[in-house]
Amino acid sequence: MNVPHPLIDNPDDRPVVLVVDDAPSSLGVLCETLESSGYTVLVACDGDTALRRLALVTPDIILMDAVMPGISGFDACRRIKSDLATKHIPVIFMTGLSDTSHVLEGFACGGVDYVVKPVRAPEVLARLHTHLGNARVARFALDAIDVSGLGVVMLDQQGTISWCSPCATQLLKQFGIKSDSVTLPKSWWDGGSNMELVASITEPASASLLVRNMGAAGMDEIMLLLELSSNHMLPAGRLASAALTPRETEVLSWLAKGKTNRDIGDILQLSPRTVSKHLEHIFEKLGVETRSAAAAMASAQENVDPRLTSGKWSH
């Protein structure tokens, strides 16, 4: 029996589902139901065939058998998620393996969901509909970023770039940073959030690249916002409006130059304890918790931190 499931407003824009199973004939009813419910169905009989298909066409979603001869569904999913061209495609596993270890492996390799064989068409349709909708919302958001011209970089939990807006790609290139599969410095993405300024790179001399950590953008990704700023302009944000006292400004300036509390005390003729108290007030006003975060903000305004403003790229 066909299960009506209106999925899209435009019948000519049928979402494409790739079904990967070593016994596709056993899924005949499911494939017929998918076709009648608004999908275009492609079939691959093993992992190798699926990967070759993906070199030619990009489906909207994949139904993947977990256990197949040759490349397993888990390994095929890992390859799909390691490729920037296909990693955005949601993968739902079909498996007779309901052990916790297999379920966890499916999620660990990048799957978004799983259904237990023998599959039930209404359940598969509901899961496809949900994950396809989520994926399309995400793609629309990325498309909007492209159109708006924002410099946005998405990272995985290891700091590796998973996606760059065209503007971000251009900015990274301008400052000598290649965006393809680069792991960015840990200080840029580990621990910061809420628009915290985490780096300022000066090169060429007429401009600086400001990097802000926007925090988590989903369960497994981190968003960075890149901005181009003239070296003669004060950065907008918390530092410009923090209302630091002249003494706090001096302390922050020496902190940005890499000086210790004792060094700052010797320079300004203050006790280390007094320097620590000034830093507490500075951190509170800037809304940061670490010395490095405060120093990064100061370097963007004063261009005083040699490590951040040398223009040299290292990681």
Q: Please state the CATH superfamily assignment of the domain spanning residues 16-145 in this structure.
A: Response regulator (3.40.50.2300)
Task: Tell me the mean pLDDT in the region 69-75.
Answer: 92
In the chain the first and final C-alpha atoms are separated, in Å, by 58
Task: Give 250-280 pLDDT, tens digit per residue.
Answer: 888 888 777 888 888 888 888 888 888 888 8
Cα 143 from Cα 145, distance rounded (Å): 5
Cα 12 from Cα 241, distance rounded (Å): 53
Cα 88 from Cα 70, distance rounded (Å): 24
Crossing angle for the helix pair 291-302 and 246-256, nearest 10 degrees? 100
Question: Which tokens hold the place of 42?
Answer: 């492609």
Q: What is the DSSP letter of 25?
A: G
Q: Is the pLDDT of residue 38 over 80?
A: yes
Mean pLDDT of the chain: 77
Crossing angle for the helix pair 272-286 and 291-302, nearest 10 degrees? 80
Q: Is the pLDDT of residue 198 over 70?
A: no
Cα 231 from Cα 307, distance rounded (Å): 16
Task: Just give the CATH number of 149-309.
Answer: 1.10.10.10
Going by pLDDT thresholds of 50, 70 and 90, the confidence category of residue 234 is very low
Query: Cβ(195)–Cβ(214) under 8 Å?
Result: yes
Query: Cβ(110)–Cβ(131) under 8 Å?
Result: no
User: Domains of the chain: which residue ranges?
Assistant: 16-145, 149-309
Domain pair 16-145 / 149-309, same fold: no
